[in-house]
Structure 1
């Protein structure tokens, strides 16, 4: 019989690439990971790993077993969800990971609803970059996490995770109000405030600008959207900002809606969708996107019109004027 814990280590090795990375993720020593994988090879009766110096790769049999391991781990999640469903209702700890703008705008309402409707839940929120969410879900330090990508830079599906759509946001061009022109192509010679190179936001800005015929010239790098907008308001450059982080804009910033959209999904381990606590969180987050609490926010792909928000303009081919903040 194959040991499930060892199957999980094999799956980790396939995902992370090295025994050292697996050891770090699982708080083991590299020697302990190697011993467990060797024991799994004995259980399987075939070589699972090919060792070349310090490098390790999966054999054909190892690749086959990894695919089955994902199915086994998902089945265990389904079994845990089925047992939890026998209880009287959602209860116990539930760990939620979300990016900063969602923590500020969506999580408070969702947490209030969960506390009211499911008082037996122990809610724990961690502010987390979406890039770290898949690993945290796999490693069971999170139960539910928010992921996002952009229509111009779609993410690859993770075979260990399931997810449901939550939100589709407009991406805005943010400019100093005094010099705003509202045309992306006209910012080609202006300084830009970009995210850190290597991040999704940085890549998205590069792609959007390339599609408009230019490469943005970076003056500043900042990853926090509040900082980005403060720099824009100070006349330090222009930037791209998603709706949750931008509406309403601070004084001195003019937003112009672009065609690009940021897409947010609620993710959880494959097989966990019917777990009462997970289902309760998904429902609460979904409900939190419905009310038009903030003008201009797009919920579930049904775009609202941001022209009613001070400092926001519709796309540049719109015929009605922007509203200027008082």
Structure 2
């Protein structure tokens, strides 16, 4: 019988690439990870890893076993969800992740609703970039997270997690004056300075793609991943910025917002199979209510 914990180690090796990275992510020593994987190979009866010096890679059999491990682990999540649904009341710790603008605009109201309706839940929040949140979900460091993606930077489907979109809204051009050409608002500032997030950040990458779609490479004067800072710089005449609506909840005077034909999506993401867990379902319901409140507020002005 194959051991589930060892299957999880093999799956993490498939994603992280090195035994050292697996050990660091799951709080093992590298030697312990190596020993567990060696035992798994004996249990499987076929080589799962190819070793080249200090590096390892999965064999064809190892990759097949990882595919099965994904289904096994999702099935266990579903079993835990079914058992939790059979209990009376929600208790225990719910570890939540969120990117900064969602943590600021959506999460507080959702936490208030969860605390009111399910006082037995201990709610713990960590700020995460969406890419890192998926890693934390897969490794068990988070139970659910608010994540985002953009039209021009779609996030590929991940076999270990699943997402439900709870908010779709237009990306915004923030500038100190209205675009000269309403039909090409971003291109109206092609010769100007830009305030963008760093390229490794999804929003920063999306902003660059928006400029490229308008036919130019932005001249980046300032880089910040903090939307209030970007808006303050726009208000100070330092350039233009691109951001999702969630990032423009507190607008400085003198900033003009122009909706673009590019959408940003916010999702509730959790491990595959865990969607029916009562605590995850309660979190998703609370987020949806928070989104309704947020949308009602934006309709009446930021």
Could you tell me how far apart the structure 2 residues matched to 1:273 and 1:201 are?
27
Structure 2 match to 1:295: 298
Question: What are the within-5 Å matches in structure 2 for residues 132-171 of structure 1?
Answer: 132-171=132-171
Shift in Å at residue 198 of structure 1? Answer: 2.3
Secondary structure of the 2:222 match is strand
Contact map agreement 2:100 2:127 (CA 8 A) in 1: yes
Question: What are the within-5 Å matches in structure 2 for residues 107-146 of structure 1?
Answer: 107-146=107-146
Question: What are the within-5 Å matches in structure 2 for residues 77-88 of structure 1?
Answer: 77-88=77-88
Could you tell me how far apart the structure 2 residues matched to 1:198 and 1:107 are?
24
Structure 2 match to 1:237: 239
Secondary structure of the 1:267 match is strand
Which residue of the other structure, out of 164, 184, 187, is the alignment partner of 1:185? 187
Secondary structure of the 2:257 match is strand
- Note if 1:250 corresponds to 2:252: yes
Q: What's the TM-score, normalizing by structure 1?
A: 0.88
Structure 2 match to 1:316: none
* Unaligned ranges ≥5, structure 1: 297-307, 311-326
Which residue of the other structure, out of 198, 215, 218, is the alignment partner of 2:217? 215
Secondary structure of the 1:290 match is helix
- Note if 1:284 corresponds to 2:272: no
Worse overlay, 201-210 or 236-245 = 201-210
Matched residue count: 298
Contact map agreement 1:248 1:294 (CA 8 A) in 2: no
Contact map agreement 1:171 1:261 (CA 8 A) in 2: yes
Q: Deviations over 1:32-83 (max 9, x none)?
A: 1111100100010110001112221111110110001011111111111111
Higher helix content, 1 or 2 = 2
Compute the RMSD of aligned alpha carbons. Answer: 1.5
Could you tell me how far apart the structure 2 residues matched to 1:52 and 1:287 are?
52
Structure 1 match to 2:201: 199
